Amino acid sequence: MSTPLLVYNCSVFMTKKLANFNTKWCELLSVEFLNFTPDHWLQFSPPSCTTHLLFAIIYLFIVVPGILGNCIILWLFIRVRCLRTPKNLLSMNIVLSDLLMNCKIPVFIYNSLNCAPVTGIRGCELYGFVGGLSGTATITSITVVTLERYWTISRIKRNHVLTFRMSVFLIVVIWIYALAFALPPLLGLINHYVPEGFLTTCSFDYLSEDIHSKIFVFVFFMGSYVAPLCLIIFSYSSIYMKAMRSTKRFYSQVTEDQRAVETIRKRMAKKKFKLGKTTLLLISLWSFAWTPYAIVALLGIFNKKALLTPFMSMIPAVFAKCASIIDPFVYGNSHPTFRREIKHLFTGTLQESPRNVTFNLTSSMSTRRSRIQTKRKSFIQDAAL
């Protein structure tokens, strides 16, 4: 699109198609790509190269620690044998989906450095597909890990034991679920992956006027945001309440050795505070990452397009990508062995494994107090879950 004649022909054609079309786009994009782009974004002026460069730098600071952090967690899982458990296998699926999400960021950086979507229509569709697949897989994986924790602690089924076969089955279901939402727009069955914002990124078409596309986006919103959020809040709230009930039951049973009980009381108060803080952190992190995307999608399908500017549509992607950096460390940090191995990796010091650490404050007590110790250990193990 370098010759003035082509720019002029583009301007005439697009102005007939869209009354408020900004003709500056003809200097950057082909008519084919402009027809592929939702009309809403073409009424705005193209962002300056300085703005593109700013976003490229932001994403560079995201992709480097994102790929490095996820690779470290994945490497520790493969290297340390005691970490290769069915529960951690589910957590590693979060790492894999976040890693996949980070792998598409160089495409955006490349487009931004060229101040235009130079990867073209096919590059846009592939970018949108990878984003839809990895984002949905991450959301679903976090939900499944949360439900598994709730299931284990609540002990709905007393003989419930998560096996490797069950973990693999759940992971397969997660990716099938993600494909069910990500694949139809790629194949053109319903909805499409189209440019958004500065046109250097692509997502599903939440601006489409087609009723089938609107229904698809709304179902996507319910299945990938509302339902997971409700399940996560329910699960972590139930876990916290379970810990509170266990505390009350323990205090009502233990009547001897008041000094030891008081010490345990203080430690358990500290543990309850930590559990509550962790619960709030995980729910807040999830909401922080995906609520902006949900709001943008809802504004689109309910025809509140006047509120959607290119800059506003670019912000949700930044939040979601930032979560891909934090996720592996939050869920890895919840496992004491992961914490120990990460500290050993960066400091060279290796602490004693905390797996068998309990509040064994009265190990030297007489035999007549063994019943109290048994109840205490049982409670601590239950609360530590």
361 part of a folded domain: no
Q: Taking residues 361-378, what's their average pLDDT? A: 45
Report percent pLDDT > 70 for the chain: 71
| Residue 64 shares a structural domain with residue 3 | no
42 part of a folded domain: no
- Asked whether residue 225 carries a pLDDT value surpassing 60, the answer given is yes
297 part of a folded domain: yes
pLDDT interval class at 97 (50, 70, 90):
very high
pLDDT single digits (tens) 104-159: 999 999 999 999 999 999 999 999 999 999 999 988 998 898 888 888 777 655 56
| Residue 22 shares a structural domain with residue 54 | no
54 part of a folded domain: yes
What's the CATH code of the domain at 108?
1.20.1070.10
The pLDDT value recorded for residue 381 is: 45
Number of structural domains in the chain: 2
> What ranges make up the beta strands (E) of 85-232?
193-196, 201-204
User: How far is Cα 172 from Cα 175, in angstroms, rounded to an integer?
Assistant: 5
304 part of a folded domain: yes
342, 72 contact by CB (below 8 A): yes
| Residue 221 shares a structural domain with residue 253 | yes
- Asked whether residue 17 carries a pLDDT value surpassing 60, the answer given is yes
Place of tokens 């809802």: 298
| Residue 18 shares a structural domain with residue 62 | no
382 part of a folded domain: no
| Residue 114 shares a structural domain with residue 4 | no
| Residue 11 shares a structural domain with residue 61 | no
| Residue 127 shares a structural domain with residue 226 | yes
| Residue 15 shares a structural domain with residue 134 | no
66 part of a folded domain: yes
Structural domain containing residue 108: 49-347
pTM check: above 0.75 = yes
The pLDDT value recorded for residue 385 is: 43
| Residue 165 shares a structural domain with residue 26 | no
pLDDT single digits (tens) 272-299: 556 556 666 767 777 888 888 889 989 9
pLDDT single digits (tens) 247-277: 656 555 555 555 555 666 666 656 655 655 6
For the chain, first and last CA: distance in Å? 62
The pLDDT value recorded for residue 158 is: 57
**Sequence-separated (6 or more) residues with CB below 8 Å from residue 367:** none
Mean pLDDT across the chain = 79
Report percent pLDDT > 90 for the chain: 33
| Residue 163 shares a structural domain with residue 187 | yes
The pLDDT value recorded for residue 380 is: 42
357 part of a folded domain: no
The pLDDT value recorded for residue 342 is: 73
- Asked whether residue 53 carries a pLDDT value surpassing 90, the answer given is yes
Q: Taking residues 323-335, what's their average pLDDT? A: 71
| Residue 86 shares a structural domain with residue 211 | yes
Place of tokens 């810990």: 243
User: How far is Cα 380 from Cα 17, in angstroms, rounded to an integer?
Assistant: 69
| Residue 246 shares a structural domain with residue 191 | yes
